[in-house]
Homo-oligomer: A and B are copies of this chain.
Amino acid sequence: MATQEFTAAEERAMQLALGEARRGMRGANPLVGAAVLDADGAVLASGYHRGAGFPHAEIEALANLPEGLDRTTLADCTMVVTLEPCNHQGRTGPCAVAVAEAGIGRLVHASDDQTSAAGGADYLRSRGVDVRSGLCRDAALDLNQRWFKAKSARRPFTTMHIAQTLDGLIAAADGSSQWITSEAARQDSHGIRARVDAIIAGTGTVLADNPRLTARTGNGEPAASQPLRVVMGTRDVPADAAVRGSDGKFLQLHTHDPAEVLDLLAGRGVAHAMIEGGATVAAAFLKVDLVDELVLYLAPLLLGAGTRSTAPLGIGTLADAAHWRWDSSGGGHTTNLGADLRLHLEPAPAGSTPAVRKGL
């Protein structure tokens, strides 16, 4: 598609929309940003999708239009959006319908929707909107590379969390691990628990630590939204294990295969799963490239000896190391949390070894 299809103002607005998209939280839904330009190319409003359960970016951008704007002028306006507007019935109705009903005259989207929610572009065309796609497509695909990968494999998006010392340990030599990270870091990880549909731990962790695996608020109360508590592994989970709870949201999967776990969870409608650990489960998911996002809490401690954050990954030489990249979405790739540092990463796309390392 020829570049001249798009104006310079639309290109600038799409960069703005990509930046807006990165403000959102990864998970069940892709990161999406949108902006509305007037006939002169000035940005009237922008918006982004905060994450599952929040309005889509197009709805946010429309909601952010200036009060008192003459809505009839929207026929001369363009919306740019990083992903094709959805055409499915969510809690706010399809975005394509909302955009058409707002009277937007032209819509430019970066990447196409290849999920069951596709068809938004065709719908908009049928309503007389001038729809164009492909502006900044590569950047938009890159932004949600892992989400697209998970979606095309029809599996949940996965977030792994690790709380470790500077030297990569999650427990001391005697097994003590409570608490390596500060209250603020633990509260942040409870926030992830409250956002996901399921949390996955191994039988080893359940037997060693007897965790509840519930999402709790700052004062220790259960959060409003609770994930399905999934224990993977073949060892028995004791009848009085805390993880069983009494709310029916407990499931043991008698397998060590991460792909099988995710397949079974997808069948139960899980769109976002958190991998809690321990080291064996973490390594199992990492080895087969089934971790889409890594939240690493780094406590300013040194232990020297203890339990490593992951079991061996079958990597023998540096050239085969798993490459990750810093992920600035959802608030930045590095955040101070109490005494700890929160690092946010995602797997680097295959073959994309960073230039700075490659150039050596």
- Chain A residues with CB under 8 Å of chain B are 164-169, 171-174, 176-180, 182-184, 283, 286, 294, 296, 298, 300-305, 308-326, 334, 336, 338-339, 341, 343, 345, 348, 354, 356-357, 359-360
Partner of A302, one of B173, B303, B310, B343: B310
Contacts of A168 in B (CB 8 A): 164-169, 308-309
A318 touches B171 (CB 8 A): yes
Q: How far is the CA of A294 from the CA of B302 in the complex (A)?
A: 11
A310 touches B316 (CB 8 A): no
18 more A-B residue pairs beyond the given contacts A167-B309, A302-B322, A326-B336, with a C-beta to C-beta distance below 8 A: A166-B294, A167-B308, A168-B309, A172-B315, A173-B315, A173-B317, A178-B318, A179-B357, A182-B354, A182-B357, A183-B360, A286-B302, A286-B304, A302-B321, A302-B324, A304-B312, A305-B313, A305-B316
Copies per assembly: 2
Q: How far is the CA of A167 from the CA of B167 in the complex (A)?
A: 7
Q: Which residue of B lies closest to A354 (CB)?
A: B339
A-B CB contact pairs (8 Å), 17 listed: A172-B321, A173-B315, A173-B316, A176-B318, A182-B357, A182-B360, A183-B357, A183-B360, A302-B313, A302-B315, A303-B313, A304-B311, A304-B313, A304-B315, A304-B322, A325-B339, A339-B354
A318 touches B303 (CB 8 A): yes
Q: What 3 A-B pairs come out closest when comparing CB atoms?
A: A168-B168, A304-B313, A338-B356
Contacts of A341 in B (CB 8 A): 326, 334, 343
Contacts of A310 in B (CB 8 A): 167, 302, 304
Q: How far is the CA of A326 from the CA of B172 in the complex (A)?
A: 22
Contacts of A303 in B (CB 8 A): 313, 315, 318, 321-322
Q: How far is the CA of A360 from the CA of B183 in the complex (A)?
A: 7
Contacts of A283 in B (CB 8 A): 304
CB of A354, distance to nearest CB on chain B (Å): 4
Contacts of A304 in B (CB 8 A): 283, 286, 310-315, 322
A319 touches B176 (CB 8 A): yes
CB of A173, distance to nearest CB on chain B (Å): 5
Among A166, A301, A334, the one with the most B-chain Cβ atoms within 10 Å of its Cβ is A166
